[in-house]
A and B are shown apart, each in its own frame.
Chain A
Amino acid sequence: MSDDQMVTIEVDGRELQAKAGALLIEVTDAAGITIPRFCYHKKLSVAANCRMCLVEIAKVPKPMPACATPVNQGMQVFTRSPLALAAQKGTMEFLLINHPLDCPICDQGGECELQDIALGYGRDASRFVEGKRVVPERDIGPLIATDFTRCIHCTRCVRFGAEIAGIRELGATGRGEHMEIGTYIGKSVDSELSGNVIDICPVGSLTSKPFLYSARAWELVQRKGIAPHDSAGSNLNLHVRRNQVMRVHPRDNEGVNECWISDRDRFSYEGLYSADRLTRPLIRKSDKWVEADWQDALDAAAQGLKRARGTSGNRLGALLSPGATLEELYLAQKLMRGLGSENIDFRIRQGDFRGTEPALPWLGQSIAELDELNAALLIGSNIRKEQPILAHRLRKAVLDGAQISFINPLEFDINYPATQLVNSPAGMISDLAAVARALGGSGGLIDGADVNDTHRAVADQLQSAAKATVLLGNLAVAHPDYALLQGLANVIAEKSGALLGYLPEAANSIGARLCGALPGAGGSNALEMLSNPHKGYLLLGVEPGLDFWNPARAMETLGQAEYVVALSAFRSYSLEQVADVILPIAGFAETSGTYVNAQGDWQSFGGAVAPAGDSRPAWKVLRVLGNLLDVSGFDQVSSEEILAEVRQMAGGRRPENSGVNGIDIDPLLDGTGLTRIGDIPIYALDPLVRRAASLQKTRDAIGAGARINRREAEIAGLADGDKVVVKQDKCSAELRVVIDPAVPDGCVRVPAGLAGTETLGGQIGNVTLEKA
């Protein structure tokens, strides 16, 4: 019987066509026939334990679970026959006997699968007169509130951990009525996808802790949104009450996020309502920040930029966040170009601009195609924490037999079997050159590379795979020899027949390129703009001490500038050190706009709530600045109008990864001394997530520190918890030592993007450690 053979079945007298072997519940769901269920979930394995979907099948004496029964030709199904209904109602009665029925004080009330189905299959009064089961409270972390007294033991959350999140954090212990869901003794749930259990829990056992007791489901209005952090561009439903985002849920999109979202996308909305949200324009007056009205602030900004520009636009530079919308980035570059400046860049965490980049770097394949890979080599990427949704796709490929390798400067906690080549940043180049050589590449460093068995194995994996890819991640981009990594990756891809792909850092990294947020002819890139001081700067959505590759230099250069205009949704310590005027802009969910995700989808969204206080959408602020500075072409009245301009500008431009060049470049890192690895922790990525209070309480939200392995610590005479001065270039920071076996020899992991690291240099570079 071939897989796609079709059969005809009859359900409640209705004839249905279905693939032979498909599960009955899939077939009835597709046909719009409702069968009640709790344990079944389309993305999880079949458990068949809730017994709610029991239906009658002709010639079968017992009612059968629709979720576990494959269809076959001529099968006759009755979903509402007396036998089926008796079974369903029987199960419902059992489910309710120990359920507390505390709907009025349960957050799930109003959107509860048990409540909904009980309405159709439950009784109005219970025959159960015994005492009910109570389960003690259990704290499993800052994101998920639990009330296991309400649990109906469907095990969706348990299967989610094992099958989707890739870590078995929740499990069932105890037998029978004493069965309880919980974590291993004293453990919290720490997966970066953990919040999805809130959605899949059919009852109020697992609910959102930040949202707890703050609104009822029926008070919320659902608006569409797009996730603002990584480059998956997860589709969201924003739940809004009285002009406030109350919570965020995934919106199904099979081609992007399926039905999942990362915890970062789910809980970062909290940042919008943090204490340092900026709601009024601020002007620096004799080194004090004073609130101003918009007119004065805009005038000051325009005058400041005009003065700094003087007679040459080249004296101005714009440093833009890749998390800004297409419309905002477009107007920002248009403003700069209107003022005669080509110094525009969004690549604020890129460590190297030598070599030739591809025309329009992107994932190189669709997101869904990641599922089908047979092999992948990831270079400089902690994909689980950088791009949780794309990481899930890769994991699916691994479960299907794909082989994944990593070349990284840190050992990461990968939730599937993988080969990890962990080497210092300089050593990464040698590893790549060796893999390239094993594949028959030549030229530059490749010719002298030492090839070992692991390199050959990685080369073989890529070469023998029907579908393979080589992906560059955030740590590759931050590498001082990124051009070389890119060049070598390109050779590996070409020689092995794998697709070269990029994991764009932010929600709109590709959009920024499409709308021209890059230096033009003669213009300076982000690094140059900060190495060669300019008179005036326009900053959009960034915090200089946390968002730039070299924060110390950024602070110094910006601090010396004549005038700095910042557009920001938040008050920010480092911004307030360097800016002259701060214009409050709308944050996530408060403005309409467009993001272009890793696979090149243009995803537009409307504003779900009004901007907080007096803040305004950045595109409106930029438009007014354009008017005040007499730049033409700033008359748009809607973001759609700007989008139309961008579309015209981008034309039919498709992402394109060809044209990489760079294997003949000399490496800057020589591999001597101690190298700092400054990764960006998952919840330090951008100003919004850094202010999301609950995410900042998770175990992934690590603080600043100097992490070294035990051997290096012993050499340096340091112990865990010691205070140490990390010196980089001419700057330094005092941090605590953390012994971390994941850091290779010759390296110290000092994550960037965290308070306490603003005074340090480039994310990856030479450092020394001195005991404080």
Chain B
Amino acid sequence: MANEVCFRNMDQDRPWLLEQYRSRGGYEVLARILTEKTPPESIINEVKLSGLRGRGGAGFPTGLKWSFISRNAPGQKYVVCNSDEGEPGTFKDRDVLRYNPHQLIEGMVIAGYAIGATCGYNYIRGEFWEPYERFEAALEEARAAGFLGRDLFGSGFDFELHSHLGAGAYICGEETALLESIEGKKGQPRYKPPFPAHYGLYGRPTIINNTESLASIPVILEKGGEWFKQLGVENSGGTKLFSISGNIKNPGVFEIPLGTPFSELLEMAGGMKNGSKIKAVIPGGSSAPIIPGEQMMKLTMDYDAIAKAGSMLGSGAVIVLDDSNCMVKVLERMSYFYYEESCGQCTPCREGTGWLYRVVHRIETGRGRPEDLALLDDMTTKIAGRTICALGDAAAMPVQGMLRHFRDEFKYHIAHKRCLVG
């Protein structure tokens, strides 16, 4: 049941070429929709039925997001694809761009038709130079073949799509910061409401979805929402791309149905490297609280199961840690990331992420104080939920998760000024 949606072409030679995409029926869904003039409502309903949830990390139902746009509102509307894949541990959208760019393009044109937008942007992470070039080449092919541009399939519907390369800021993966960045401004999240559906790119109604979400659309509409939903489990329809990395044999991206046991995913990735013992797993990118290995081995990979375990499925970035890892060191690295990537707008995040990092760094370097753990506990409650965007929460949650499950390691570090491990 693997590789049904975004990776369904992975068996092909050079699958990113238009020719290859067409050989499996690529752009036929779009052609059908445009020539039959499928009512946009029925497209949105099909997406709703599929149970597709935003694959960028928040898991918000895609069909519902689309329905917030008033299709008949006058003026320009936009479709924006968020390929600013920056969450540490996540590298799945990169592969969509590299291996299946046309499915993403087709998905975006369909999304444009569904909400009445004639223009789209694909915001690609600054470091993704190769995927950017490949996506650009795909855009060229699609334009030349008449799948982008004016009067597509003689339907009178126009759609133009541009890619936009970011400049390396994690925060630009936050959807409103991404919009600011496209507009040429400093990438800082906007206060919401208003949400992009009402006030988006250049102040116009905008839908903004993750790469994997948009690339799933053609398949959903080809095979039906019900089919897609049945691939997964209750509340978690479809398959999902998981980027699995860490102390495992074969790190990589795997498309598996939601609800697949974690143990199966680990097996697909070749199991633990050198047969080492699993210590913990970060199940959804570095912002997701860590889960001890034993507990993780009993979980299935879907939104509800991971949430119940006190973490989140996020973007499907699974980082597996074996018992050679010092949790203080791991947290220090993660905290440094958020300290570097906070946009600086909101006080608690701007000041708090630096403080968190410095305290963890002190503990790691043997200068921890007994009161530091209580300070960290307290600080995270004053950052989480107190900021404009979720970066504050993202910085606080790993700290909270670590201190919940591995507090003793931190205490040991403070008391003995050295690692419990190794």
Once the chains bind, are A94 and B388 in contact (CB under 8 Å)?
A: no
Once the chains bind, are B382 and A90 in contact (CB under 8 Å)?
A: yes
**With a CB–CB cut-off of 8 A, which chain B residues contact A104?**
none
Q: A94-B382, A128-B355, A130-B358 are in contact. Are A177 and B191 (CB under 8 A)?
A: no
Once the chains bind, are A86 and B191 in contact (CB under 8 Å)?
A: no
Shortest CB–CB separation between residue A450 and chain B, in angstroms? 39
Shortest CB–CB separation between residue A132 and chain B, in angstroms? 10
CA distance A95 to B348 in the complex (A): 8
- Identify the closest chain B residue to A131 (Cβ): B358
Which positions 117-156 of chain A face chain B at CB distance < 8 Å? 127-128, 130, 152-153, 155
CB of A98 within 8 A of chain B?
yes
**With a CB–CB cut-off of 8 A, which chain B residues contact A49?**
345-347, 388
CB of A68 within 8 A of chain B?
yes
- Identify the closest chain B residue to A94 (Cβ): B351
**With a CB–CB cut-off of 8 A, which chain B residues contact A63?**
385-386
Of A50-58, A182-190, A621-629, the one touching chain B:
A50-58
Tell which of B342, B347, B388 touches A95, judged by Cβ atoms closer than 8 Å.
B347
The size class of the interface chain A forms with chain B is 35 or more
Once the chains bind, are A152 and B375 in contact (CB under 8 Å)?
A: no
**With a CB–CB cut-off of 8 A, which chain B residues contact A50?**
346-347
Once the chains bind, are A62 and B386 in contact (CB under 8 Å)?
A: yes
Once the chains bind, are A176 and B344 in contact (CB under 8 Å)?
A: yes
Q: A51-B387, A176-B339 are in contact. Are A98 and B344 (CB under 8 A)?
A: no
Once the chains bind, are A97 and B355 in contact (CB under 8 Å)?
A: yes
Once the chains bind, are A51 and B348 in contact (CB under 8 Å)?
A: yes
**With a CB–CB cut-off of 8 A, which chain B residues contact A77?**
none
CB of A112 within 8 A of chain B?
no
CB of B341 within 8 A of chain A?
yes
Once the chains bind, are A177 and B346 in contact (CB under 8 Å)?
A: no
**With a CB–CB cut-off of 8 A, which chain B residues contact A46?**
191
CB of A93 within 8 A of chain B?
yes
CB of A285 within 8 A of chain B?
no
Most buried by A among B186, B349, B386, B388: B386
Shortest CB–CB separation between residue B209 and chain A, in angstroms? 25
Once the chains bind, are B351 and A95 in contact (CB under 8 Å)?
A: yes
CA distance A684 to B388 in the complex (A): 47
Once the chains bind, are B347 and A175 in contact (CB under 8 Å)?
A: no
CB of B350 within 8 A of chain A?
yes
**With a CB–CB cut-off of 8 A, which chain A residues contact B344?**
153, 172, 174-179
Once the chains bind, are A175 and B169 in contact (CB under 8 Å)?
A: yes
Which positions 163-212 of chain B face chain A at CB distance < 8 Å? 169, 171, 186, 191
**With a CB–CB cut-off of 8 A, which chain A residues contact B355?**
94, 97, 128, 130
Tell which of B343, B351, B359, B386 touches A175, judged by Cβ atoms closer than 8 Å.
B343
CB of A48 within 8 A of chain B?
yes
B335-375 vs A, Cβ < 8 Å mask (1 yes, 0 no): 00001111111111111111100110010000000000001
**With a CB–CB cut-off of 8 A, which chain A residues contact B385?**
61-63
**With a CB–CB cut-off of 8 A, which chain A residues contact B348?**
51, 90-91, 94
Most buried by A among B346, B362, B381: B346
Q: Is the interface of B mostly helix, strand, loop or mixed?
A: helix
Once the chains bind, are B347 and A94 in contact (CB under 8 Å)?
A: yes
Once the chains bind, are B346 and A51 in contact (CB under 8 Å)?
A: yes
Q: A63-B386, A93-B382 are in contact. Are A179 and B347 (CB under 8 A)?
A: no
Once the chains bind, are B386 and A54 in contact (CB under 8 Å)?
A: yes
- Identify the closest chain A residue to B343 (Cβ): A175
Shortest CB–CB separation between residue B358 and chain A, in angstroms? 4
Tell which of A61, A62, A153 touches B347, judged by Cβ atoms closer than 8 Å.
A153
Which positions 33-74 of chain A face chain B at CB distance < 8 Å? 46-52, 54, 61-63, 65, 68
CA distance A85 to B64 in the complex (A): 36
CB of A378 within 8 A of chain B?
no
- Identify the closest chain A residue to B351 (Cβ): A94
CB of A87 within 8 A of chain B?
yes
- Identify the closest chain A residue to B367 (Cβ): A129
Shortest CB–CB separation between residue A91 and chain B, in angstroms? 5
Once the chains bind, are A87 and B386 in contact (CB under 8 Å)?
A: yes
Once the chains bind, are A177 and B342 in contact (CB under 8 Å)?
A: yes
Shortest CB–CB separation between residue B352 and chain A, in angstroms? 6
Tell which of B171, B339, B359, B387 touches A177, judged by Cβ atoms closer than 8 Å.
B339
Shortest CB–CB separation between residue A451 and chain B, in angstroms? 35
Once the chains bind, are B351 and A48 in contact (CB under 8 Å)?
A: no
CA distance A46 to B353 in the complex (A): 24
Most buried by B among A65, A86, A179: A179
CA distance A91 to B347 in the complex (A): 7
**With a CB–CB cut-off of 8 A, which chain B residues contact A47?**
191, 345
Tell which of B169, B352, B358 touches A94, judged by Cβ atoms closer than 8 Å.
B352
CA distance A48 to B355 in the complex (A): 22
**With a CB–CB cut-off of 8 A, which chain B residues contact A94?**
347-348, 350-352, 355, 382
CA distance A48 to B385 in the complex (A): 14
- Identify the closest chain A residue to B375 (Cβ): A127
Shortest CB–CB separation between residue B28 and chain A, in angstroms? 44
CA distance A144 to B305 in the complex (A): 57
Once the chains bind, are A176 and B386 in contact (CB under 8 Å)?
A: no
Once the chains bind, are B191 and A175 in contact (CB under 8 Å)?
A: no
Shortest CB–CB separation between residue B396 and chain A, in angstroms? 12
Most buried by B among A54, A90, A175, A179: A175
Once the chains bind, are A176 and B354 in contact (CB under 8 Å)?
A: yes
**With a CB–CB cut-off of 8 A, which chain B residues contact A175?**
169, 171, 340-344
**With a CB–CB cut-off of 8 A, which chain B residues contact A176?**
339-344, 349-350, 353-354
Shortest CB–CB separation between residue B299 and chain A, in angstroms? 26
Most buried by B among A52, A94, A127, A178: A94
**With a CB–CB cut-off of 8 A, which chain A residues contact B347?**
49-52, 91, 94-95, 152-153
CA distance A21 to B304 in the complex (A): 37
Shortest CB–CB separation between residue B389 and chain A, in angstroms? 11
- Identify the closest chain B residue to A177 (Cβ): B354
- Identify the closest chain B residue to A97 (Cβ): B351
- Identify the closest chain A residue to B382 (Cβ): A90
Once the chains bind, are A86 and B382 in contact (CB under 8 Å)?
A: yes
- Identify the closest chain B residue to A133 (Cβ): B354
- Identify the closest chain B residue to A178 (Cβ): B344
Once the chains bind, are B350 and A177 in contact (CB under 8 Å)?
A: yes
CA distance A25 to B293 in the complex (A): 48
Shortest CB–CB separation between residue B363 and chain A, in angstroms? 12
Once the chains bind, are A179 and B388 in contact (CB under 8 Å)?
A: no
**With a CB–CB cut-off of 8 A, which chain B residues contact A130?**
355, 358-359, 362
Shortest CB–CB separation between residue B376 and chain A, in angstroms? 11
**With a CB–CB cut-off of 8 A, which chain A residues contact B388?**
48-49
Q: A94-B351, A130-B358, A178-B344 are in contact. Are A48 and B386 (CB under 8 A)?
A: no
Shortest CB–CB separation between residue A89 and chain B, in angstroms? 8
Shortest CB–CB separation between residue A36 and chain B, in angstroms? 12
- Identify the closest chain B residue to A38 (Cβ): B347
CA distance A98 to B344 in the complex (A): 13
Q: A91-B347, A153-B347, A177-B351 are in contact. Are A68 and B342 (CB under 8 A)?
A: no
Shortest CB–CB separation between residue B203 and chain A, in angstroms? 13
**With a CB–CB cut-off of 8 A, which chain A residues contact B191?**
46-48, 65, 68
Shortest CB–CB separation between residue A532 and chain B, in angstroms? 62
| Chain A residues with a Cβ under 8 A of chain B | 46-52, 54, 61-63, 65, 68, 86-87, 90-91, 93-95, 97-98, 127-128, 130, 152-153, 155, 171-179
**30 residue pairs bridging A and B, Cβ less than 8 Å apart:** A48-B388, A51-B387, A52-B347, A61-B385, A63-B385, A65-B191, A87-B382, A90-B348, A90-B381, A91-B386, A94-B348, A94-B352, A130-B362, A152-B347, A153-B347, A155-B345, A173-B186, A175-B171, A175-B340, A175-B341, A175-B343, A176-B341, A176-B342, A176-B349, A176-B350, A177-B344, A177-B350, A177-B351, A177-B354, A179-B345
| Chain B residues with a Cβ under 8 A of chain A | 169, 171, 186, 191, 339-355, 358-359, 362, 375, 381-382, 385-388
Known: A49-B346, A98-B354, A128-B355. 12 other contacts (CB 8 A): A51-B347, A61-B385, A91-B348, A91-B386, A94-B348, A94-B350, A94-B352, A95-B347, A130-B358, A152-B347, A155-B345, A177-B350
The 3 closest A-B pairs by CB, nearest first: A179-B344, A90-B382, A176-B342
